[in-house]
Amino acid sequence: MNTIADTTYRTKFYAATLQQVLRNALIAEKICQVDNSDNKTIKNPYGSQPTATVQAIAGTYSVSAYTTTVSTLTVTDEVTYAEHVYDWEDILSNYDLFANRVEEIGYSVAHAVDVYVLNYLLEAGTGTYTTPVGGFTTASNINVIISNLASKVMGYAETYNGMFLVIENTDVVGFMQAQMTNGFSYADAALNNGFLTTYGGVEIYVARTGTFTDATTDTTSGTQTWTNSGHRMFGVKNMCTYASPRGVLVEEKSVSGAFGKEIAIHALIGAKLWDTKAGLIVDITLA
């Protein structure tokens, strides 16, 4: 009878470092302006919109009143996570466990910031659009949706910053089918290279399912509230600013009574879709 246990065999480790779990793509920094200065508030005043008058030549005019409004970004929330890595865990591990945990926690904080900014931006936008039945998963809808969305922001000077669309991975189905059947060279490129990240002049960013959620001042939204489940986002780039003073901050702390180090990572966060640009962010409801 064979009595050799599995643990008696030699073990080979595949990689030189501890493997990372699957990571979601970070999007917010690609579509927003980022401010890492040490400021709690950023003010952006604007004046009322003047409207010129066309009239028959008379040599006279009327004087109008104007108002000034201050739009303000305030850093209101923080993202935190901490762990303790004991010396014996790091020493007896096959990998640099401490370095891996710092990297993993840093990403976790950065991803939480990303989700926070995307959901804030979608909630703050005043543009609205409802897709045809089937949403993005129906290939025949894609051309209609993209053209309708583009029509909502074209004609403004800001559009030259570039348009973007944030969908979730389940929406890619309709996009890929549309890309592989529309046109010749474009379809060939899609067939050869797979999913293309632009469509009709719109940059497409894919988030994982569950990025757009409903939240009321909880551990994902901090002081914010949003109702974004079943929604997607379209808009013009760089209309929103998010402030994260000094970015993601890492601290290593010695703890009395315990060997090793405590890893504490945090980031401060605040975001603002500037008042004058709110119509350039469109809240898409899936039908």
CATH number at residue 117: 3.90.1690
Q: Is 3 domain-assigned? A: no
CA distances from 63 to 47, 55, 59, 124 (A): 16, 15, 14, 34
Query: Whose CA is closest to 233, among 149, 133, 173?
Result: 149
Place of tokens 């998010």: 242
Q: Is 217 domain-assigned? A: yes
Number of domains in the chain: 1
Q: Is 13 domain-assigned? A: no
CA distances from 259 to 98, 101, 103 (A): 13, 16, 21
CA distances from 54 to 51, 61, 221 (A): 10, 10, 49
Beta-bridged to residue 77, according to DSSP, are: 269
The range of the structural domain enclosing residue 60 comes to 29-285
Q: Is 20 domain-assigned? A: no
The two structure tokens encoding residue 129: 């659009």
- Cβ–Cβ < 8 Å for 226, 119: yes
pLDDT (tens digit, 0 to 9) for every residue of the chain, 287 residues total? Answer: 566 777 677 777 777 667 778 889 999 999 999 999 999 999 999 999 999 999 999 999 999 999 999 999 999 999 999 999 999 888 888 778 888 899 999 999 999 999 999 999 999 999 999 999 999 999 999 999 999 999 999 999 999 999 999 999 999 999 999 999 988 888 888 888 888 899 999 999 999 999 999 999 999 999 999 999 999 999 999 999 999 999 999 999 999 999 999 999 999 999 999 999 999 999 999 99
Residue 183 zone, left/alpha/beta (φ > 0; ψ -120 to 50; rest): left
Confidence (pTM): 0.90
Q: Is 19 domain-assigned? A: no
Q: Is 21 domain-assigned? A: no
Place of tokens 């991803």: 111
Q: Is 2 domain-assigned? A: no
Q: Is 17 domain-assigned? A: no
Place of tokens 């999007």: 27
- Cβ–Cβ < 8 Å for 136, 205: no
